[in-house]
Amino acid sequence: MASVAVANLSRHFGRVVALDDISFSVADGEFLTLLGPSGCGKSTTLAALAGLDRPTKGTIRIGDRILFDGASGVFVDAQFRNLGLMFQSYALWPHMTVAQNLDFTLELRRIRGAEAKRRIDETLSLVDMIDFADRYPGELSGGQQQRVALARTLVYQPEILLLDEPLSNLDAKLRDRARIWLGELQKRTGVTTVYVTHDQAEALALSDRIIVMNKGRIAQIGTPTEIYETPSDVFVADFVGASNLIDAELALQPGGQATARLPNGEILRVNPGPSGPVTLAIRPEKIVIGEDGGPPDNRVVAKVLAKSYLGARNLYVIGIGGQRLRVETNAGIDATEMPIRLPMESIRVYPRA
Amino acid sequence: MTGLAGSRAADAKRQAPVASRFSGFAVQSAISLVSTALIGVALVPAFIQAFLDKPLYYPEAAFTLGNFARLFTDPEIVRTFGTTGLFCLIVVSFSMVVGTTLAVLVGRTDLPGRGALLGVLLWPLFISPQIIGFGAILAYGPYGLITAYIGDAIGVPRPWNLYSVVGIAIISGIAAAPVTMLYCIGAARQQDPNHDAAARVVGAGPGRILRRINLPLMRPALVFALIMNIVSALEALAIPLILGNPVGIRLLTTMIYDLSFDRGTPNYGLVAALALMLMALVAVLFLFQRLVLAGSHRFVSLGSRAGQLRTLPLGRWRWPIFAGVVVYILIAIAALLGCVALRAVTQVFSPDISPFEVLTLANFETILSIDVYVRSITNTLVLAVVGAAAGTALIAGVALVAQRSDYPLRRAVDGIAQLPRVIPGFIVGLGVFYASVFIPGASVLRNTIWLLFVAYLIRFLSSGYGIVSPALLQISADFDRAAKSVGAGWTTTMRRIVLPLSKPALLSCFILLMILIIKEYASAVFLMAPGAEVMGATMLALWLQGQTGPVAALAVLQVALTAVMTVAAKQLLGVKLHG
Ligand SMILES: Nc1ncnc2c1ncn2[C@@H]1O[C@H](COP(=O)(O)OP(=O)(O)O)[C@@H](O)[C@H]1O
Ligand SMILES: [Mg+2]
């Protein structure tokens, strides 16, 4: 196992800049997630790590090996990197049985005979697929294929495990189970893992650290808590946890306090920030409904515009100051108007260009 | 997991072997080189010959433009251009109209028995055009069976003249129509059903859907079919030769044939110049196709294929149209093949004698006892098996380099694989013949079937590539990437992953090549020599000498071989050769 260090990595496809000067590192045994919307460059980053795609510039090191260095022209092909890459499509070779899929990777490493058999059995047991060793991939369900695909990347004990949206082909219920299972498996094997997803719930649940990407750049690197609680910009606030975004004008008051004026004139107390046009972000579950005995600031009466029942919770769309906000709460409200509070400490302030 | 973790250190040393960074580069280069050399063999000597005043094996041969000058000054040649133009016009119009109509009828409407009809209508694809030519003479020639019957019935002896440009062109059109059908039926069927559904939702009737949605969406296929028809009309040799030569109707191709055989010293320079000109014409056509189809993404059917293409109801025209199609089959396919078959089992063939009084197996005895015939049969079979196997291997290699590698020249390799499609068959034969003269040491291959073998490899490269290359595109590139990521090199990945997955396509390719080789004559006519006879060329040569009985027997044998192979391929191997 090994650590990963990526520095100043860029990838251009003609005029399209898929990756723009990104740098990050992954510690030995860490579970790191690349999170971002479709097209932000996650797969391109993973392909660069895997050696399937040659970046335009930058360096990639794994352990003490330099695998890519744009300046000196070093590029080690995927074939020689000894990494494990799991595809979104699983890419199980359909003409080989489950065991043969695993065995092929060992054959390439000249691991044969009893040792090969032991490894295959061990790995298939690890993913609970030992009973399916002689099945063909076409005879397996999606969830089973996913396990086999993972087993195939683990059986030769790669230095790094790279997973590209491994759960996206599973249905919702299976996906939750597979996510828990995958997390436990990574803890047990302790293999350094780079995980790609566009699903923030997966990222938050599984990762030691998350890299949020936006348009080929890194928007934020941090632990799940940091990313969720202190998003570094509007994009991250919106993408992770779907914050409500409110345009406002910030004014610093004497005594170090700050107020934000909404377009309709409503004034909210907020944490200090740069004065001028700002975007306020507040998460749907942080908006307090009704009287909660908190401070008297930032209380408004909101119109209830729409309501949808999510089972465990209710989602309301409310209107304040001509802007629509989403609110999540356990309470059921039938009124057309309700008093709400936007707690100052839950409002994050970002300068607006 | 201690077991897994423990052996990890040992693994580091046992990693995938570190070889060249360009995995498979040597193999890829070899494949590219072989395919380039083959195409070069077909084209380069012919090209040089066109600019020489003497055969290129003469040391004193000198550069000249005289061959080209003669092309445009010799009144006989200039007259040929006119005839060829008229001929092409009729062939192409016939093939396009008949082919498209039949494709739409069989592919999109509720015509009764359309599956079976399609099979029969495509038969001529698997039959050598010369057999269609023989059949035409036996059925519709001046002394043809049907000519006589119809003549008697309406009281006009010889109501038509087969030996005319129009007659020759219609018979060639019959041979070409299945090609149009094949290109169009795919396009007619592969359309996104949602286009149909969308049109129906907005209230369009079936006829309007056909006119405004289906036919326009078929435009790329129609343009492609048009070009392929022009190419095949330009390169048609057998039918014009059999039907036209006896009455002095000359096309570019038959003139090239005559120039290289009939006169005392063949004028190779003129032949090569003519051949080059023919190819230039073809190249212009393909350029034109590129331009016309420049925006063809507009025609790509996008989105899900869910839902059924609704067949267009023919209504009360259903049975009359069915009858029309059956009549076409009887006139254009059954009559021709029937007469060839009858000729094969009769002593003499004449409208005045009932064929059933002169039934005989003598023709078959002849072809199974006379050396030339036997040799041409065995040579054909050997070439079919060996050529198809080698051809499939070559095509697989070329397709893998072109579609599945990062070989720097892979685009060029793809282009090379498409090139033989535009080289008329007899030019391939000529080229290989020139090369055998030109390349030191190659003359040992002369008068053996191995020159034919080389010619067939070149000639059918595109045909097989046309099957294998799209099939490769269906195999997800993730399979290769997965193999690469676990440490497999290019060669290993191809051998262990991609080739096994393309087995059905390779089988189809093998069978198709066998069929094509069995029916081939165009590239063989210039390479045939005593000892190196093949069925196609033998039939042509002997027919011209008037040996119609044995030729008909050979033709029956050829058709039977092809039919057995097609059926076996379908039934035993589940191979699809079209559609
Ligand atoms: N081979 C390619 N050629 C051109 N553009 C590409 C290619 N691969 C990816 N891109 C572009 O690079 C960007 C990032 O793509 P990708 O890494 O696949 O995104 P993600 O995996 O985050 O959805 C996209 O804008 C995509 O269109
Ligand atoms: Mg992706």
- pLDDT of A298 reads 84
Q: Between chains, do B8 and A94 touch, taking CB under 8 Å as contact?
A: no
- Considering only CB atoms, A95 lies closest to which of B7, B492, B500, namely B500
More confident residue, A288 or A148: A148
**How many structural domains comprise chain A?**
2
**Are A64 and A99 contained in the same domain?**
yes
pLDDT digits (tens, 9 = 90+) for B230-266: 888 888 888 999 999 888 899 988 888 887 776 556 6
| Pairs from B19-28 (Cβ < 8 Å, separation ≥ 24) | B19/B489, B21/A75, B21/A76, B21/A77, B23/A77, B23/A79, B23/B489, B23/B490, B23/B491, B24/B405, B24/B489, B24/B490, B24/B491, B24/B494, B25/B407, B27/B397, B27/B490, B27/B491, B28/B401, B28/B405, B28/B407, B28/B410, B28/B490
Our separate counts of H helices and E strands in chain B read 30, 0
B484, B492, B496 ranked by CB distance to A78: nearest: B484
For ligand 1, whether the C-beta of A274 sits within 6 Å is no
Average pLDDT across chain A, whole number: 90
pLDDT of residue B308: 53
Q: Are A56 and A15 in contact (CB under 8 A)?
A: no
pLDDT tens track for B63-101: 888 888 988 888 888 888 899 999 999 999 999 999 999
**Given an 8 Å threshold on Cβ–Cβ distance, is B488 in contact with A89?**
no
According to DSSP, the β-strands at A244-252 and A276-282 are antiparallel
Tell me, using a 6 A CB cutoff, whether residue A84 lines ligand 1: no
Q: Are A285 and A253 in contact (CB under 8 A)?
A: no
Residue B523 dihedral angles phi and psi, to the nearest 5° = -80, -10
Distance A227 CA to ligand 2 centre (A): 21
How far CA B268 is from CA of A260, A328, B434, in Å, comes to: 92, 88, 9
Write down the pLDDT at residue B294.
63
**Considering only alpha carbons, which residue of chain B is nearest residue A155?**
B4
Record: fold of B65-293+322-360 = MetI-like fold (1.10.3720)
> Which atom of ligand 1 is nearest the CA belonging to A45?
17
Contact B14 A111 (CB under 8 A): yes
Of A217, A235, A253, the residue at which a domain comes to its end is: A235
Q: How far apart are the CA of A92 and the nearest CA of chain B, in angstroms?
A: 7
Q: Do A194 and A284 sit in the same domain of this protein?
A: no
For residue B15, the chain A residue with the least C-alpha distance is A109
pLDDT confidence of residue B11:
42
A195 and A120 in a common domain? yes
Residues of A in contact with B3 (CB under 8 A): 118, 122
Same domain, A270 and A146: no
A204 and A262 in a single domain? The answer is no
Interface residue B488 vs chain A (CB under 8 A): yes
Under the banding of pLDDT at 50, 70 and 90, the label for residue B575 is low
Closest CA in chain B for residue A188: B1
Residue A133, pLDDT above cutoff 80: yes
Higher-scoring residue by pLDDT: B282, A20? A20
A143 in Cβ contact with A170 (< 8 Å): yes
CB contact under 8 A, A75 and B476: no
CATH number of the structural domain spanning residue A334: 2.40.50.140
Q: Could B486 and A1 be called an inter-chain contact, meaning their C-beta atoms sit closer than 8 Å? A: no
Binding site membership of A186 for ligand 1 (Cβ less than 6 Å): no
pLDDT of residue B18: 40
In this structure, are A267 and A140 located in the same domain?
Answer: no
Q: Model confidence over B283-306: pLDDT tens digits?
A: 888 788 777 766 544 444 333 344
Q: Is ligand 1 within 6 A of the CB of residue A11?
A: no
- At B436-457, the pLDDT tens digits run 877 888 778 888 899 999 999 9
In angstroms, what separates the C-alpha of A43 from chain B's closest C-alpha? 13
- Please tell me the number of the ligand nearest to residue A38's CA: 1
Distance in Å, CA A85 to ligand 2 centroid:
13
A192-197 and A31-35 beta bridge pairing = parallel
Give the end of a domain, one of A235, A259, A292: A235
A44 lines ligand 1 (CB under 6 A): yes
Instruction: Give the Cα separation of B230 and B234 in Å (integer).
Output: 6
- Residue A288 predicted with pLDDT over 90: no
A18 ligand 1 Cβ < 6 A: yes
Confidence category of residue B196, pLDDT binned at 50, 70, 90: low
A54 Cβ closer than 6 Å to some ligand 1 atom: no
Nearest CA in chain B to A111: B14
Pair A31, A162 in one domain: yes
Question: What are the chain A neighbours of B476 within 8 Å (beta carbons)?
Answer: 89, 91
Residues 6 or more apart whose CB falls under 8 angstroms from that of B130 comprise B238, B239, B242, B521, B536, B539, B540, B543, B555
pLDDT at A312: 77
From chain B residues 448-487, the ones with a CB under 8 A of any chain A CB are 476, 478-479, 481-487
Q: Is B489 on the interface with A (CB under 8 A)?
A: yes
Q: What are the angstrom distances between the C-alpha of B75 and each of B69, B72, B80, B82, B252?
A: 12, 8, 9, 11, 13
Expressed in angstroms and rounded, the spacing between residue A39 Cα and the centre of ligand 1 is 6
CB of B408 within 8 Å of a chain A CB? The answer is: no
Do residue B11 and residue A104 have CB atoms under 8 angstroms apart? Answer: no
Domain ranges of chain B: 25-63+362-579, 65-293+322-360
pTM above 0.90, yes or no: no
More reliable by pLDDT, B576 or B154: B154
Q: Do domains B25-63+362-579 and B65-293+322-360 have the same CATH topology?
A: yes
Nearest CA to ligand 1 atom 17: A41
Ligand 1 lined by A15 (C-beta under 6 Å): no
Is ligand 1 within 6 A of the CB of residue A42?
A: yes
Instruction: Annotate A158-183 with DSSP letters as a single string.
Output: -SEEEEESTTTTS-HHHHHHHHHHHH
Query: Considering only residues 23 to 62 of chain B, which have any Cβ-Cβ distance to chain A shorter than 8 Å?
Result: 23
Q: Which of A239-253, B524-538, B565-579 has the lowest mean pLDDT?
A: B565-579
To 5 degrees, how large is the angle CA A71–CA A73–CA A79? 135
Q: Could you tell me if A93 and A179 lie in one domain?
A: yes
Are A328 and A226 part of one and the same domain?
A: no
Q: How far is the CA of A183 from the centre of ligand 2 (A)?
A: 21
For chain B, the residue count is 579
Closest atom of ligand 1 relative to the A42 alpha carbon: 22
Chain B closest-CA separation from residue A105 CA (Å): 6
Are A91 and B481 a contacting pair at CB < 8 A? yes
Element (H, E) at B103: helix B75-108
Q: How far is the CA of A43 from the centre of ligand 2 (A)?
A: 4
Look up the CATH superfamily of B25-63+362-579.
MetI-like (1.10.3720.10)
| Token couple for A329 | 């709460």
How many cross-chain Cβ pairs, A to B, lie less than 8 Å apart? 96
Higher pLDDT, B145 or A24: A24
A231 and A249 belong to one structural domain = no
Q: Are A350 and A272 in contact (CB under 8 A)?
A: no
In A, minimum Cα distance to B500 occurs at A95
Strand runs labelled E in A77-203 = 84-86, 160-164, 192-197
**What pLDDT was estimated at residue A117?**
96
Identify the pLDDT of residue A101: 96
Last residue of a domain, one of A210, A235, A260: A235
The verdict on A155 and A172 lying in the same domain is yes
CA of B240 to the centre of ligand 2 (A): 58
How many CA atoms does the CB half-sphere of A98 hold within 13 Å?
27
Pair (A266, A346) in one structural domain: yes
CATH of the domain at A36: 3.40.50.300
Residues of B in contact with A54 (CB under 8 A): none
Centre of ligand 1 from the C-alpha of residue A42, in Å? 8
Structural domain for A151, as ranges: 4-235
A35 CA → ligand 1 middle, Å: 15
Specify the residue with its C-alpha closest to ligand 1, atom 16: A41
**pLDDT for residue B386 is more than 90:** yes
